[in-house]
Amino acid sequence: MSSDRRTIIAGALAVAGAGLAQPSRAGASPAPSSTEKPMTARFRIYQSVIAAWKAKDIDAVLSHMSDDIVWHYAAAISPPLIGKGPARKFMEDFAARIGEVRWRVFDYAEAGDRLFVEGVDEYFGKDGVRVATPYAGVLDFRGDLITGWRDYFDAGGSAAMRAGGKAPAQVEELIARPAIG
């Protein structure tokens, strides 16, 4: 790679990363806690969705979605749910199988009408089995309503935990970070 190209890429990465928390390195001072980040309106809406889901208030969750929502609850794994009817059915079926919900967000970023989040979907099944799945999500907004939602996660790891397996050490490390809010 030419040095000009490297300089351009390095500059672009520096601009893209400006203001974002960097991982701490041995001997370096730790990055500021993401729990100190000021909350945006879209992130507050997302927090309302999380609170409603923890309370299993499906109507409240749906109140934050547009009628034409395209929800990839398992992007690249399953086809999307399109519209509030299929979204409601999915949530009702899922809620019937789970007990306590410990869904948390570790960080987020916003660009235009899009919210990017990183967190863990942690819950206990009615059988007491713990499932803790790190995920990244992308939400598209039109005004205050979510019109698109794509969640990315390790489906194999989730299935193994649902079958009674334990979360691997690297997953436990990822989900032990402080949550926002």
Count the neighbouring beta carbons within 10 Å of the beta carbon of residue 128.
9
Mean pLDDT of 108-130: 96
Residue 149: predicted pLDDT: 98
Q: Domain containing 123 — which CATH number? A: 3.10.450.50
Give the integer Cα–Cα distance in Å for 176 and 166.
15
How many domains, the chain? Answer: 1
Share the mean pLDDT of the chain: 84
Q: Which domain covers residue 171, as residue numbers? A: 38-175
Residue 36: predicted pLDDT: 59
Q: What pLDDT digit, counting tens, does each position of 27-62 carry?
A: 333 343 445 567 899 999 999 999 999 999 999 999
Residue 43: predicted pLDDT: 96
| Residue recorded with tokens 């519209």 | 83
User: H/E element holding 42?
Assistant: helix 41-54
The answer to whether position 20 is within a domain reads no
Residue 39: predicted pLDDT: 81
Are 120 and 152 contacting, i.e. CB atoms less than 8 angstroms apart? no
CA distances (Å), origin 164, targets 109, 113, 130: 34, 39, 8
The answer to whether position 134 is within a domain reads yes
Strand segments, DSSP code E, in the chain are 65-72, 81-82, 98-101, 104-111, 114-125, 130-142, 145-153
The answer to whether position 92 is within a domain reads yes
The answer to whether position 21 is within a domain reads no
Cα Rg of the chain (Å, integer)? 18
The answer to whether position 120 is within a domain reads yes
The answer to whether position 123 is within a domain reads yes
Are 151 and 81 contacting, i.e. CB atoms less than 8 angstroms apart? no
Mean pLDDT of 162-167: 94
Mean pLDDT of 59-70: 98
Q: What pLDDT digit, counting tens, does each position of 12-21 carry?
A: 333 333 333 3
The answer to whether position 112 is within a domain reads yes
Length of the chain counted residue by residue: 181
The answer to whether position 77 is within a domain reads yes
